[in-house]
Amino acid sequence: MSFTFARRRAAAAALTAALLVPLAACGNDDTKTDSGAKATKSGTGTAKADLTVLAAASLTDVFKTAGAAYEKSHPGTKITFSFAGSQELAAQVKQGAPADALVTADTKTMDGLKADTATPTVIAKNRLVIATEEGNPQKVDELKDLADTKLKVVLAAPEVPVGRYSKKILDAQKITVKPVSEEPNVRAVLSKVELGEADAGLVYKTDAASAPDKVDAVEIPDDQNAIADYPAATLKASKNAEAAAAFVAWLSTPEAQKILQDAGFQKP
């Protein structure tokens, strides 16, 4: 082999190697991009996504706080909440509304959606109080006062969890109340009292606490009260199953529990 031929052969080999290096680098970048696109992980190792969470109306204030805390600790995840009465949320799920997780104000509603949800976890509890106008001008002191026909009392409709709990405790005490209206969710009941359209209404303790300058809360003794459970579950139709499961699991963490309990919810 001549010296000139050997030099040409070596040069060709070097050129081939030089061309392969960037190709290999591109291949590695593609693998990383592919992997990242499939897993879409945040810095915390949790899948990133835009989540839609259907939540009971009584969670309106606390979930806004909880959602902001979750987004802060899980960069890349955005949560949009849709609040309504639990029965309305159940109807949305059955109609195929696009959502990733569901939190209701009772186990009965959640149990009716077993075909649509993963196994639920109770993340909080609540109890009822009598909400009155600020200063309690009608001097409502206990449940039996709600039977006074001179009072304008508003309740949630019986198909709504808080309406069902209200009926349960009133029936147990053999108290007959003729409400001036039956509302679609607990926030609507609270609003009627806030606006002076009703003298009193049965709401969750946390709802009354959300408007301390507008309503007073009359406590109901434990032996006359009802405890509301709040189960949370991912929806089987979710397109963000991993991220949705991460959020539902987070609701049971010390961070989320502190937010819930600071708002007046009880431990699950």
Output the CATH code of domain 126-227: 3.40.190.10
Residue 219 scores a pLDDT above 50: yes
48 and 22 Cβ atoms separated by less than 8 Å: no
**Measured between alpha carbons, how far is 240 from 63 in angstroms, rounded to an integer?**
19
Instruction: Give the pLDDT mean for 127-145.
Output: 97
Residue 254 scores a pLDDT above 60: yes
194 and 215 Cβ atoms separated by less than 8 Å: yes
**Intrachain domains 50-123+230-262 and 126-227 with the same fold:** yes
Residue 266 scores a pLDDT above 90: yes
Residue 29 scores a pLDDT above 70: no
Question: Which residue bears the tokens 């989540």?
Answer: 51
Q: What is the dihedral of CA 212, 213, 215, 216, to 10 degrees?
A: 60
248 and 234 Cβ atoms separated by less than 8 Å: yes
Chain segment 41-93, per-residue pLDDT in tens = 544 555 678 999 999 999 999 999 999 999 999 999 999 999 999 999 999 99
194-198 own/partner pairs: CB under 8 Å, 24+ apart: 196/133, 197/152, 197/154, 198/152, 198/153, 198/154
What is the pLDDT at residue 46?
Answer: 58
**Measured between alpha carbons, how far is 198 from 191 in angstroms, rounded to an integer?**
9
Q: Which residues are CB-contacts of 257 (< 8 A; sequence separation ≥ 6)?
A: 123, 124, 267
Chain segment 91-123, per-residue pLDDT in tens = 999 999 999 999 999 999 999 999 999 999 999
Predicted TM-score (pTM) of the model is: 0.81
Instruction: Give the pLDDT mean for 226-233.
Output: 97
What is the pLDDT at residue 48?
Answer: 73
231 and 251 Cβ atoms separated by less than 8 Å: no
Any idea where the domains of the chain sit in the sequence? 9-36, 50-123+230-262, 126-227
What is the pLDDT at residue 33?
Answer: 31
Question: Which residue bears the tokens 């897993």?
Answer: 39
Instruction: Give the pLDDT mean for 4-26.
Output: 42
Classify domain 50-123+230-262 at the CATH superfamily level: Periplasmic binding protein-like II (3.40.190.10)
Residue 8 scores a pLDDT above 80: no
Chain segment 155-210, per-residue pLDDT in tens = 999 999 999 999 999 999 999 999 999 999 999 999 999 999 999 999 999 999 99
Q: Where is average pLDDT lowest: 47-51, 163-167, 255-259, 261-265?
A: 47-51
Residue 9 scores a pLDDT above 60: no
